[in-house]
Chains A and B, each alone.
Chain A
Amino acid sequence: MSLLEVRNVDKSFSGLRAVRAVSFSVAANSITALIGPNGAGKTTLFNLIAGALAPDSGTIMFLDRRSDGLRPDQICARGIARTFQIVKPFAGLSVLDNVIVGALHRDANVGRARAHAQEILAKLGLASKRDLPAAALTLPDRKRLEVARALATQPKLLLLDEAMAGLRPTECDQMVAVLRELNRREGITILLIEHVMRAVMALADNVIVLHHGEIIGAGLPGEVVRQPAVVASYLGENSGL
């Protein structure tokens, strides 16, 4: 059963077609990776799914209901949470308060939201930093905070926009372990944009390759990296994959 279904979606920015006739689906409980060179339209596609942008044409179905054109907060209420490629922490608030804001979405009681937020911080390895202002965090920690905050809204589908970028290999492996755990234990479906192929290969059940706004390849990770069009436009001949 597919949780998310993107059908024939188009989006242009003053003449530039950022996303062209894109169709794909994300199966429930799966991890799908969206890869492709810079400017391929990956983040635009995310913004369309998350409600930050409305498609020019085409439809997006989530849990068998139309979700395109809804506001971001309505999309979140349906069960889709996202992180931002350029992290957007609530810089003046503490790490814990950042996550409480997310947790309050499902439970208006601050006490219970705080307890829930603390559990999530522990999962992401941020428990010891909960009282620091978010502005004081390093980039890897800010990436973790993005994920923690999104998770706090208790999503069915988690959209991760380059959550691994800028992380060292060991930090990247930690994040991979956390995400796999969330996927297996809690059944959270994950759609991620990622350049770090190490993470993609370790995590993804399916890979979708976007180039110039179009899907040029899709399938199992091991297959996709050998497709000639993907190698030519994105990975290069000597990727070693």
Chain B
Amino acid sequence: MNRRGALLLAVSAIALIALPAFANNYLISVATLCLFFAYTGQAWNIMMGFAGQLSLGHALYLGVGGYSAAALYFHYGIGPWLGVGLAIILSIALGAFLCALAFRYGISGVYFTLLTIAFAEFTRIGFDHLAWTGGSAGLFLKVAQRDRADLVNLRGPPAMYYYVILALTALACGFSAWLLRRRAGYYWQAIRENEEAARALGINTIRWKILAVIISAAMTAVAGVFIAFYYNNLFPEQIFNINRSVEIILGPIVGGMGTLFGPIIGAALMTLLTDGATELVAALGWNIPGVKQLIYGLVLLAVVVFLPEGVWPAMARKLKLDR
């Protein structure tokens, strides 16, 4: 990273850390959502951006992560820090099972992607009928006092959640940067670029693809635990919904797949765009149904057409930063 980049990163970090001191609860909640998508985008990016394996079913890991920690807390009072362990174990098991099924039968490309959707969908249907987690009626955590930060049980004011997801995002960024500079990063990118050539260079591509999937799954499950304790409710129809999976991937696609900062920039843009469109429509006094979605769609279209690599690579060039 060059000096300009380091300076920009430091300034952004300070701004993000200082934000709750200046922002009201609404702004903090927008920023929290923003970082949530930055974090999950970063997790998805390891699988798709680095290793080239498209998942359209990341809601699976989000939901399983959220449900496992929330259910432990709800039924046995076991806190989220232990719950996150179960979330990670279950999501790794699911990711590994998906890979075993896919790679055993040589399923790849779009068919692999269909399998990721199928896994998320049948898990959703399963949870709809699982009485232990409340079935389709949902699972609710007690909403506790919100003036005191209780990190052990992840109960507290909005600013606490903001800092938790900020820390997670920073960790995910550092972890991704570290992975990219390791053998794993090189091997994943080789597989992404040309799997046959990667195999010829001695790479056991199945093994390395599984590694990308389970790391991505485990990271996403952690976000699931966060979102469960942040919103205090879980519904299979929401958490496992394919819309969730799509929301997760928009950030990295818009920001720039395979890059370190793309998922963050993309998530920020998409969240601000959603809320910005709402504000704009309200300010203009328009009462036209669907106009919000229209603005959202148009911006997305413009990015895809004019910046096919994503916003971040173009931004980095303009600002003369390293990517």
A binding-site residues for B, Cβ under 8 Å: 50, 52, 71-73, 76-77, 81-82, 84, 88-93, 97, 100-102, 104-105, 108, 110, 113, 149-150, 152-153
Q: How far is the CA of A150 from the CA of B190 in the complex (A)?
A: 14
Cβ contact of B183, chosen from A50, A76, A108, cutoff 8 A: A108
Q: CB within 8 A of B199: which of A71, A100, A104, A152?
A: A71
A108-B183, A110-B182, A110-B186 are known contacts. Are A76 and B194 too (CB-CB below 8 A)? no
> Of B182, B189, B204, which one neighbours A93 at CB under 8 angstroms?
B189
Closest A residue by C-beta to B199: A72
Task: For A152, give the chain B residue with the smallest CB separation.
Answer: B201
Cβ of B298 within 8 Å of any chain A Cβ, yes or no, is no
Query: Which one of B181, B192, B202 contacts A105 once the chains associate, using CB atoms below 8 Å?
Result: B202
**B263 to chain A: closest CB distance in Å?**
17
Q: How far is the CB of A146 from chain B (nearest CB, A)?
A: 9
A sample of 15 cross-chain residue pairs with beta-carbon separation below 8 angstroms, ordered by A number, consists of A71-B199, A72-B199, A73-B200, A73-B205, A76-B202, A91-B194, A92-B189, A92-B258, A93-B189, A93-B190, A97-B186, A101-B189, A104-B183, A108-B183, A150-B201
Query: A105 — nearest CB in chain B belongs to which residue?
Result: B202
> Please, which residues of chain B bring their CB within 8 A of the CB of A150?
200-201
Whether B110 is near chain A, meaning CB under 8 Å from some CB there, is no
Scoring A52, A90, A152 by chain B CB atoms within 10 A of each residue's CB, the highest score goes to A90
Give B residues with C-beta under 8 Å from A: 181-183, 186-187, 189-190, 192-194, 196-205, 258
- Chain A residue numbers with a CB within 8 Å of B181 are 110
Q: Which of A84, A91, A97 contacts B200 (CB 8 A)?
A: A84
A91 CB → nearest B CB, Å: 6
Contact status of A88 and B203, CB under 8 A, knowing A101-B190, A110-B182, A110-B183: no
Which of B190, B197, B258 has the most chain A CB atoms inside 10 A of its CB? Answer: B197
Q: What CA separation (Å) do A76 and B205 show in the bound complex? A: 13
Which residues of chain A come closer than 8 Å to B205, judged between CB atoms?
Answer: 73
Which residue of chain B lies nearest to A92 when distances are taken between CB atoms in the complex? B193
Q: Do residues B186 and A88 form an inter-chain contact, with CB atoms below 8 A?
A: no
Contacts of A52 in B (CB 8 A): 196, 199-200
Are A91 and B193 in touch, CB under 8 angstroms? yes
Residues of chain B contacted by A90 (CB below 8 angstroms): 189-190, 193-194, 197-198
Minimum C-beta distance from A41 to chain B (A): 19
| A104 & B187 in contact (Cβ 8 Å cutoff) | yes
Q: Given A73-B205, A110-B181, A50–B200 Cβ distance below 8 Å?
A: yes
Q: Which of A76, A77, A101 contacts B186 (CB 8 A)?
A: A101
Contact B199 A73 (CB under 8 A): yes
B residues less than 8 Å from A71 (CB atoms): 199, 204
Complex Cα spacing A150 to B199, Å: 11
Q: Output the least CB separation between B253 and chain A (Å).
A: 16
Q: Which of B193, B202, B204 contacts A153 (CB 8 A)?
A: B202
